[in-house]
């Protein structure tokens, strides 16, 4: 599943012989370690009209930073810019650290921070049941379908979550990591949705076993993820393992907990990408079902 449109053809910085332009943005708090670290080289993995993806080199854990416009998906590893994106292309160089990103003749400094894993709860069994019914209805009438909905691994994962079988979940997860085309393969998006639902809704509903399950599943999903999937997707899996998600996913979780309207939040999520939103929604629904079972709902 792709997260944008065709990369720009233009390469290199758009400013030469001029002082760097100073821009600011609102950064995910998950990126604090990146900005607080010493300056390190990075490269542009991909550039789209609404997002630029930078991979930081020489890092043990996969680390990709997304620079997005207000129209782009606010990923848990992103900085949202109020200014136009720099005119760069895949392969261009950047520097990240010491409180800034230097890219394409621009110097970016975060001025505000937002939380990609905000508190959700509390929510009771009745609220979880209503949310499950609403999500089933909205997803059934949506034309967007998960990319791997009918595969054996997806079925095994859903069955494992429904029965509370950690062995089935891990076995299925190992097959799904990196499965599917694009910068964020469908299998990874499904797993990311499941992880944040187990951790977030498990905590909100007091289902300690769901949070425990999320920890074990996260360990299996992130183990050697950088060699099994794309750098962008590996980073997002590491974020999901810690309960960090995009603003669109967080809105759905808040809707499940009755903190905002669920239907429009889910519709917004389903509209993302070709199948990415539907894949994430699939994972959220499977995770919600697992939390209900583990909480005795």
13-70 pLDDT tens trace: 444 456 788 999 999 999 999 999 999 999 999 999 999 999 997 666 779 999 999 8
Residues of the chain with pLDDT below 70 are: 1-18, 58-60, 296-297
Instruction: Determine the pLDDT at residue 60.
Output: 67
97: number of Cβ within 10 Å: 18
Cβ proximity of 76 and 88 under 8 Å: no
What would the two tokens of residue 122 be? 């509390």
- pLDDT computed for residue 86 by the predictor: 87
Cα 161 from Cα 240, distance rounded (Å): 17
- Closest residue by Cα to residue 110 from 236, 42, 38, 23: 23
Q: CB-based contacts of 171: which residues, under 8 Å, 6+ apart? A: 156, 160
Q: For residue 271, what pLDDT is reported?
A: 95
The token pair at 196 is 């944040």
Query: What are 97's strand-pairing partners?
Result: 100
Tell me what pLDDT residue 121 has. 85
CA 267 – CA 287 distance, rounded (Å): 18
| Dihedral sign of CA atoms 278, 284, 285, 290 in order | positive
pLDDT for res 58: 64
Output the furthest CA–CA distance in the chain (Å, rounded). Answer: 65
- The tokens describing 293, both together, are 């079972």
CA end-to-end span of the chain, whole Å?
33
For residue 221, how far is the Cα from the chain centroid?
Answer: 14
Helical pair 262-270 and 125-141, crossing angle rounded to 10 deg: 40
């Amino acid at each position: 599943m792709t997260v944008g449109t065709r990369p720009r053809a233009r390469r290199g910085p758009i400013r030469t012989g001029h002082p760097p332009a100073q821009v600011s943005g609102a950064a995910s708090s998950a990126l604090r370690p990146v900005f607080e670290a010493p300056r390190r080289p990075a490269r542009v993995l991909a550039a789209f009209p609404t997002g630029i993806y930078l991979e930081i080199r020489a890092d043990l854990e996969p680390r990709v930073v997304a620079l997005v416009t207000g129209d782009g998906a606010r990923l848990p590893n992103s900085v949202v810019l109020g200014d136009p994106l720099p005119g760069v292309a895949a392969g261009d160089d950047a520097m990240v650290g010491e409180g800034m990103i230097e890219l394409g003749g621009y110097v970016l400094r975060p001025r505000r921070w937002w939380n990609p894993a905000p508190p959700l709860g509390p929510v009771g069994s009745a609220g979880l049941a209503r949310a499950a019914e609403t999500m089933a209805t909205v997803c059934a009438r949506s034309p967007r379908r998960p990319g791997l909905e009918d595969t054996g691994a997806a079925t095994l994962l859903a069955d494992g979550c429904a029965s509370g079988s950690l062995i089935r979940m891990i076995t299925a997860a190992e097959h799904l990591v990196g499965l599917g085309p694009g910068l964020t393969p469908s299998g990874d998006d499904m797993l990311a949705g499941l992880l944040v639902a187990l951790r977030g809704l498990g905590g909100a509903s007091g289902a300690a076993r769901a949070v425990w399950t999320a920890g074990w599943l996260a360990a299996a999903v992130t183990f050697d993820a950088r060699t099994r999937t794309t750098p962008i997707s590996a980073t997002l899996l590491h974020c999901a393992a810690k309960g960090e998600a995009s603003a669109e996913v967080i809105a759905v979780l808040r809707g499940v907990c009755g903190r905002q309207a669920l239907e429009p939040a889910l519709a917004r999520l389903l509209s993302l990408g070709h199948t990415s939103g539907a894949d994430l929604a699939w994972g959220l629904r499977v995770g919600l079902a697992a939390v209900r079972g583990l909480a005795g709902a």
